[in-house]
Amino acid sequence: MKDFSEIEKKLNIEFKNKDLLKQAFLHRSYLNENTGLGMGHNERLEFLGDAVMELIVTDYLYNKYGDKPEGELTAFRASLVNTNTISDASKNLGFDNYLLLSKGEAKDMGKARAYILANTFEAFTGALYLDQGYDAAKGFIHAHLLPELENIIKHGLWRDAKSFVQEKSQEHEGVTPSYKVLHDTGPDHDKIFTVGIYFRDTKIAEGKGSSKQEAETSAARNALEAKGWE
């Protein structure tokens, strides 16, 4: 078993129930190879943590941006609590080093790992809430997730980039953008797509992603930057 006291020291948080802390990092696959462990996987904690995190973020947005309409606040929140943002926050905390995974899962460093890291962040939030209450969970989210909001708002990452670039291209160029897959790399379960965005026959920018949709969104953001429409 990993030494979870290192996480407590790093975060300056001491769990009363150490099993809750361990369970937050315990993936379902680990139990298949380690029977009789005496505790369940982290999916129930993830379920709870997701709700706690959403309430904390919603409360913050409601009070911080009193002049913003509901639709905009919803977009801010969606950008902050999505898998990519939460996974990055989890990685920045070093949670990757403490995951309890099966040998097979431990080898996968692609999309599946990002998803697991995001779920672990939520599970940790749920465990902290159960162990020390709402204020402790709030302090954790404010310290390790909410700082990303400034970057999201500054760079317009909360916008639907594809809709926004279409609006701008029709306004300024009189054309609707089109997208084309230029190439893809990697095995079927972990492909990386490169997509070009075109105004008529002119390629404006490229974007990469682990799905065609993600690559198109990346290309749209890069086109907004290339055109100075951010």
- As for how many domains the chain has, the answer is 2
Place of tokens 């997730």: 145
For the stretch 193-225, what's the b/e string if a residue is b when 16 or more beta carbons lie within 10 angstroms of its beta carbon?
bbbbbbbeeeebbbbbbbeeebbbbbbbbbbbe
Q: Is there a contact between 22 and 40 (Cβ–Cβ < 8 Å)? A: no
Residue-level pLDDT at 72: 85
Q: How many CB atoms lie within 10 A of CB 155?
A: 13
Same domain, 87 and 145: yes
Confidence of residue 203 (pLDDT cuts 50, 70, 90): very high
Same domain, 32 and 132: yes
Predicted TM-score (pTM) of the model is: 0.75
Mean pLDDT of 151-157: 76
CA distance linking residue 123 with residue 142, whole number of Å: 16
- Write the CB contacts of 86 (distance below 8 Å, at least 6 apart in sequence): 117, 118, 121, 122, 145
Domain boundary (95, 121, 154) is at: 154
CATH code: domain of residue 171: 3.30.160.20
Confidence of residue 52 (pLDDT cuts 50, 70, 90): very high
Instruction: Report the catalytic residues.
Output: 50, 122
Check whether 108 has a pLDDT greater than 80.
no
Q: Which of 152, 124, 148, 118 is nearest to 137 (CA)?
A: 124
CATH code: domain of residue 107: 1.10.1520.10
Check whether 182 has a pLDDT greater than 90.
yes
Same domain, 145 and 166: no
Q: Which of 83, 97, 103, 111 is nearest to 29 (CA)?
A: 103
Residue-level pLDDT at 230: 67
Structural domain harbouring 40: 5-154
